[in-house]
Amino acid sequence: MKRRNRAKKPDTMVKFQLMPGTYYVIRPMEHEDILQVAQIDRVAFPGEWVFRTQSAYKRDLDNPSIRYIVVCNKRDVSKSEGQAMQKLPWFKRLFSYERHLNVSENVVGFSGFWMIMREAHIIAIGVRGGYRRLGIGEGLLIATIELAQILNANVVTLEVRASNEIAQDLYKKYGFRVAGRRLRYYSSDGEDAIIMSTDNIASMPFQASLQQLKKAHAQRHRGIFAQVR
């Protein structure tokens, strides 16, 4: 049964440009995003428990204790392109418009977390193949931590594969430390998971470090700017 008195989710949006004519927006996940998020999930986490069906995502979006955000890429239509489209017959303009709409709705990454008391536990951070190593995963991590702070979390926790040293290094960069180990945690191959946790994310030292890292990320990816409402 759906909960009628569902708490309103804060709007979190991060917009940043990585390639000419294309920019990326991080926003709260909507029901219309479920198909694409499930597709990314299957590819990014093959055979792992984190894989979720579309019906499971639908339930999660109605659960006030769970938050998901997505990255969508959008393409700026230049003035010359707009003028050229106006010269086309109406039916060709329609197809061109739909093509731009399809680009603007393309989900290229997602993250999600559970709110358990004052702890935000990250379920997954996944990026579509072909969009990795562009800073999108790091942007999602920044937005996830900021959203957890808005929801009054004290700490952020997660599990990561013991062999995934690249991810572990990224998390350590953002103040996560090793807090334990779960033996044979991943059902697909029995690999151990490393438990990682931040210190108090509302503390002055953590916030100062986060803002510095966020600024550096923005500079690396040309004019990133964030807006949290």
Residues annotated catalytic, as ranges: 159, 171
Grouping H, G, I as helix, E, B as strand and the rest as coil, residue 50 is: coil
Sheet holding 119-127, edge to edge: 177-182, 193-197, 155-161, 119-127, 106-116, 66-75, 22-28, 12-19, 225-228
Contact 213, 135 (CB under 8 A): no
| C-alpha span between 227 and 42 (Å, rounded) | 30
Helix, strand, coil in percent for the chain, rounding step 5: 40, 30, 35
Grouping H, G, I as helix, E, B as strand and the rest as coil, residue 205 is: helix
Q: 65 vs 16, 70, 182, 202, CA distance in Å? A: 28, 17, 24, 20
